[in-house]
Chain A
Amino acid sequence: MKIPSNKILETIPPSGIRKFFEIVAENPDVISLSVGEPDFDAPWSVREAAIAALENGATHYSANRGSSELRGAIAKYFARKFGVAYSPEKEILVGNGASEIFDLVVRSVLNPGDEVLLFAPSYVMYAPLVALAGGTPIFVQKISEIAKKISPKTKALVFGYPSNPTGATFTKSELTKIAALVERNNLLAISDEIYAELSYETKHISFASLPKMKAQTATISGFSKAFAMTGFRLGYLLAPENLVAAANKIHQYCALCANSISQVAAIEALENCDAEVAKMRAEYKLRRDFCVRELRKMGFTVQKPAGAFYLFPNIRKRTGLSGDDFALNLLKKERVAVVPGSAFGAEFADHIRISYATGLAELETAFERMAHFVQSLK
């Protein structure tokens, strides 16, 4: 028998990041600057809370939307950090990571043929999940391109800041421009703010905190990045009541609820881990400054990223190589792994993504090797 297959899924190429993974896995002595998660383990108090949760029998389903205690803690946290108040009963949904939440949102709002504007380059999950939900992803690189690409079919605008893969964030005036477009064209803004707490010089401004925006924004966040809790698989949606209800309808059938143990641990993260988060943020900042300086010494033009833990330099201008060739040769000759920009779209074939979620000692060796590689090119 031929296993039936989904026609949309057939059009989606496998992740460019996965392809690279297989080569790296074969080289044990590789320093990997291609990891999209913190090198820190989750704070011990969070892990301790998870252990206690298990001991206390948190081995059952929670409410579909997440335990009321966690939703209450999320509401308090978001108001305290970003000044936006959400109702724990009606406007918050907890899911299995920001990933599931994004999937739920696009499946809740799209009909076949609807268009969704996405910023490029952006995190690899957005376009495939929009397509699977029946939507058509339309890419923009700048805010000024948005107006031209809006059609009667455009339903939503997706953006994530600070950004994976560039580390860039939006300024207040950029956000205001986006808000004006969202309002004028009646779009749903889907704002992925999972890196919000990893903003270095400027304080993160949540999109929903802009005038009138709360009513047309789905804010997505989670515990993976700032709290180094990737394996806990926990994220959340903050959105208008009817969108949360719709997303929960899918969530209750496809996931039932998020991991109960993780939910208990997450409360500890939100309520008692400011100092741990600040410590990790300071360490990332030190590494960022180091990486930027080293790349500039090698002759690359790089902007200092405002947040997250990525750099996305164009390497063609300095080396004449494509991102794919650069990444492959760097891996083979110097045993340093970076992600080729092509993984984020063909237009970024001249870039590489460098993650600095790696300790300073390893970063130093990696950049020495990279400098040696760049030197050898001419």
Chain B
Amino acid sequence: MKQKLLALLTKNPRISASSLAKILGTTAAKIEAEIQKLLKSGEIVGFATILNSNGQDEITAMVEVRVTTQRGRGFDEVGERLAKFPEVVNAFLISGSHDLNLLVKGKSLADVANFVNRKVAVLESVTGTTTHFLLKKYKEDGLIFGEKVSDQRLKVSA
């Protein structure tokens, strides 16, 4: 039940407990309890709403961050610190040419640039940053932007 519940919630976080109960053959109360349990244990971190904010009143940038680690100070310290800023939407530690990959949002180019200069680049263990401004989104969290195609099937077929 847990796996199926997680799959259904991932596909549609707005699905009601009563719908989930019908689909999974249980009661809405049990579904609610299970969701609360998963939230408490941290298996579900939260529910997000994906806006189609392609280039409107919001600037997004991918920021590559290079980090030196010192004794007693791993990547986690920098990563967790940067993650606390509300401007940082995603923060990933990755392999390859740089170490941390941030998705940063702001109201203007200057806003984002200021944030990177004043909050990220100045950290002692940060040795460099590269900022890529986002031009267009095609897909986010498994959801494709653009026109929804309606059901093209004949309404009745053998």
Contacts and interface: CB of A to CB of B under 8 A. Distances in A.
Q: Does B associate with A?
A: yes
A295 to B, nearest CB: 12
A294 B22 contact: yes
Contacts of A274: none
B65 to A, nearest CB: 33
B23 A290 contact: yes
A332 to B, nearest CB: 15
B156 A39 contact: no
Contacts of A17: 156-158
A286 interface: yes
A123 B15 CA distance: 36
A15 B151 CA distance: 23
A24 B156 contact: yes
B31 to A, nearest CB: 14
B78 to A, nearest CB: 36
B interface, over-half SS:
loop
Question: Which interface residue of B12, B15, B22, B158 has the most chain A CB atoms within 10 A?
Answer: B158
> Interface size bucket, B side?
10 to 19
B154 A35 contact: yes
Interface string B3-36: 0100010001001000100110100000000000
A339 interface: yes
Contacts of B156: 17-18, 20-21, 24, 32, 34-35, 337, 339
Nearest to A368: B22
A25 B158 contact: no
Interface string B119-158: 0000000000000000000000000000000010111111
> Interface size bucket, A side?
20 to 34
Interface in B66-107: none
A147 interface: no
Contacts of A321: none
A325 interface: no
A21 B156 CA distance: 5
B158 A21 contact: no
Contacts of A164: 158
A14 B139 CA distance: 46
Contacts of A69: none
A339 B155 CA distance: 11
Contacts of B153: 35, 37, 39
Contacts of B154: 21, 35
Given A20-B156, A34-B157, 20 more contacts: A17-B156, A21-B154, A21-B156, A21-B157, A24-B155, A34-B155, A35-B155, A35-B157, A36-B157, A37-B153, A37-B157, A39-B151, A39-B153, A123-B158, A164-B158, A286-B4, A286-B23, A289-B25, A293-B25, A339-B156
